[in-house]
Structure 1
Amino acid sequence: MSLTRSWAPPGPYDLRRSLGVLQRGPHDPACQVAPGAVWRASRTPQGPVTLRLVQGRARVTGTAWGPGAEWALDRLPALLGAADRPEEFVPHHRLTREAHRRLPGLRLARTGLVLESLIPAVLEQKVTAIEAYRAWGRLLRRFGEPAPGPAERRPKGLYVMPDPRGWALVPSWEWHRAGVDGKRAATVVRAARVAGRLEEAAAMALPEALARLQLVPGVGPWTAAETVQRSNGEPDAITVGDLHLPRQVGYALTGRRDTDDAGMLALLAPYVGQRHRAAQLILAGGPRMPRRAPRMYAHDIARF
């Protein structure tokens, strides 16, 4: 049986762009963009859920299957960005002003699920996106469960991630086969063991949420920010410690190629309270820094 709820955005809305940040690569087993719909498979406090989201002219409709259907639909507006306030953003650069004008339908999603965003962020630490996406997909297909709902209606290969106990019981050799080193695997296991305390961060203000996540050894500022951007929909959760973001922001705003974290934060100082949104608009509307070297080499530790 399915349940349905709809939400009417108060203004322009772009479903794919707003929820695209939740997809971990083009073949994410937990989030897929099919023709005309966005599909999500999540593990809620009430159990697994499959959520199908379709944007109409004036409303976004969510259809949910599984034990977590009511929980997911109760929070549908928040997921879609109802609590976000893009109108409060004040551009201070021509680039952000133009991007904000061109992307009026962009809202910051809020999943309310911390572990769902934390684990893939841990897998993305200090490796290429391809490596992280591959590990996430393999682990979900191996240790997750097929998403609830009629198989003939949902996309093939949609999976719900393991519960905290399932993550904690993944054997060491399976982490290795997925290309995840021991440090990242241990961080995921530690997080899974305190999942209940971490999930409380979804209702915390930004400083408290970041501090709570970083109590887990192996979770630093980068991972914590990447998590609360999605779980809490935080417009000021700027990512620091990233290999590319400071240089991209610096290049877009100044033409310089050597901007570090401190330089990026200085450039974004006028946007305090909205620095994550500013960075997203800069990436969406600014020039991309030309590459001078090949992409970072993707290692496959499963072969070693």
Structure 2
Amino acid sequence: MSVIHCDIALPAGFRPQDILAFHRRDGERLAEQVDDDGLKKGLLWRGLPACLDLRFRSGRAILSLDVDGESGDAGELERMGRRMLGLSQPVEAFERQYRGHPQLGGLIAARAGLRVPQTATPFEALAWAITGQQISVAAAVTIRRRMLLLCDCRHSSGLLCHPDAARLAALTADQLGEAGFSRAKSRAILALSQAAVSGELPLDAWLDGAAAEEISERLLAVPGIGPWTVSYALLRGYGWLDGSLHGDVAVRKALGMVLGAADKPDQRQTQAWLEAFSPWRALVAAHLWALLQAGGF
């Protein structure tokens, strides 16, 4: 067992509550435990069970990682922490440009500094995106919990760790079905996992600056992964702020509220409205999610 630490300075106006809400989605607290000033999260670190402890302290994020084995260096932990906190997202530029917009201005004023919390790894973002296809957040949380219990990868603290591609690739479609995945989602999860294990989809390597268009093309070739899944995973896993989430029911519902419409816009209307905000379409979607407080958005 070993522990590494890092200390990250946060920008003025940083919103810890968004990070905490994102990790509070599962009330059973089997893999993430959130309290008033931080959280603990089980994850796999270089394939080993680990527990991330993240604390917010007056303009700083204090991270420690307790690994059941050799831990590696603090620089790697800091890079992961900065991604999870959304610190590479240039939200200040977005807010300067649109704070006077007739519809967005009010959303920005209500949540100035909003950033999109990211997952610990791109694979976790993709697994969540597939799990959440066309179902409610509550249903997706339940299926995710069952998947974690099925894999039963635990840190010595007792926290469950999100499985990596190798662990999910070792499952069968029947096992995933018992956890609540449809046949189509089981096939998609297994195809994704197997391609990641083989190196056909170098998900972590893409963090070093692969173009979103290249990642999208490669992911769309996986059976069961469509445009919504790709846009969501690029946002949560890579911090790409220009995916068009016009197919998202919560985005459409919130847009209807913003526009004062009697009914939520259809996908075509939502896509056309979001298009005007490129290259910030996914960040606009996050503000719309936040309007509904959809699953910690």
TM-score, L = length of structure 1: 0.82
Change in Cα spacing, 1:82 to 1:5, as seen in structure 2 (3 Å) is same
Alpha carbons of structure 1 residues 273 and 98: separation in structure 2 relative to 1, 3 Å: same
The within-5 A match list for 1:219-298 is 219-285=225-291
Cα shift readout 1:96-146 (whole Å, capped 9, x = no counterpart): 212222323422334462211111211112233333211110121221311
Distance in 1 (alpha carbons) for counterparts of 2:222 and 2:153: 26
> How does 1:157-236 map onto structure 2 within 5 Å?
158-195=159-196, 196=199, 197-199=201-203, 200-202=205-207, 203-236=209-242
**Contact 2:31–2:161 under 8 Å retained in 1:** yes
Determine if contact 1:64/1:73 at 8 Å carries over to the other structure.
no
Equivalent residue for 1:302? none
- Change in Cα spacing, 1:2 to 1:39, as seen in structure 2 (3 Å) is same
Give me the whole-angstrom Cα distance separating, in 1, the residues matched to 2:181 and 2:292.
33
1:210-246 superposed Cα distances (whole Å, 9 cap, x missing partner) = 2222121111111111111111112212323323422
Cα shift at 1:22: 5.4
Letter in 2 for 1:284: A
Q: How does 1:41-190 map to 2 (within 5 A)?
A: 41-45=42-46, 47-66=48-67, 67=70, 70=73, 71-89=76-94, 90-91=97-98, 93-111=101-119, 113-148=121-156, 151=157, 158-190=159-191
Call closer, same or farther: CA 1:105–1:144 in 2, change over 3 Å: farther
Q: Any idea what SS the aligned residue of 2:129 has?
A: helix
Per-residue deviation, 1:7: 0.9
Output aligned runs, 1:18-29, within 5 Å: 18=19, 20-21=21-22, 24-27=25-28, 29=30
Question: Given that residues 44 and 113 in structure 1 are in contact (C-alpha distance below 8 angstroms), is that contact kept between their aligned partners in structure 2?
Answer: no
**CA 1:255/1:240 → structure 2, altered by over 3 Å: closer, same or farther?**
closer
Cα distance in 1 between the residues matched to 2:42 and 2:48: 11
Give ranges in structure 1 of 5+ residues lacking alignment: 152-156, 289-304
Alignment-mate amino acid for residue 80 of structure 1: L
| Change in CA separation of 1:281 and 1:44 when aligned onto 2, cut-off 3 Å | same
Spell out, residue by residue over 1:244-266, the C-alpha distance to the aligned partner (whole angstroms, 9 max, x if none): 42243133224241411221122
Query: 2:10 touches 2:59 (CA, 8 Å); kept in 1?
Result: yes
**Aligned pair count?**
281
CA distance in 1, matches of 2:161, 2:293: 37
SS at match of 1:179: coil
The letter of the residue matching 1:101 is A
Question: In angstroms, what is the RMSD of aligned CA positions?
Answer: 2.6
Deviations 1:2-39 (A, max 9, x none): 22111111211112304644565333633332232122
C-alpha change, 1:194 and 1:242, in structure 2 (3 Å) is same
Cα distance change, pair 68–188 in 1 and its aligned pair in 2 (3 A): farther
Counterpart of 2:4 in 1: which secondary structure?
A: strand
2: CA distance, partners of 1:172 / 1:268: 37
In structure 2, distance between residues paired with 1:204 and 1:256: 41
Cα distance in 2 between the residues matched to 1:182 and 1:253? 38
Percent sequence identity is 21
| 8 A Cα contact 1:198 1:212, kept in partner | no
1:64 Cα deviation from its structure 2 partner = 0.9
Q: Is the 8 A contact 1:115 1:198 kept in 2?
A: no
Give the Cα–Cα distance (whole angstroms) in 2 for the partners of residues 262 and 142 of structure 1.
39
Runs of 5+ consecutive residues of structure 2 not aligned to the other structure: none
Contact 2:7–2:63 (8 Å) recurs in 1: yes
Give the Cα separation in 1 of the matches to 2:292 and 2:135: 25
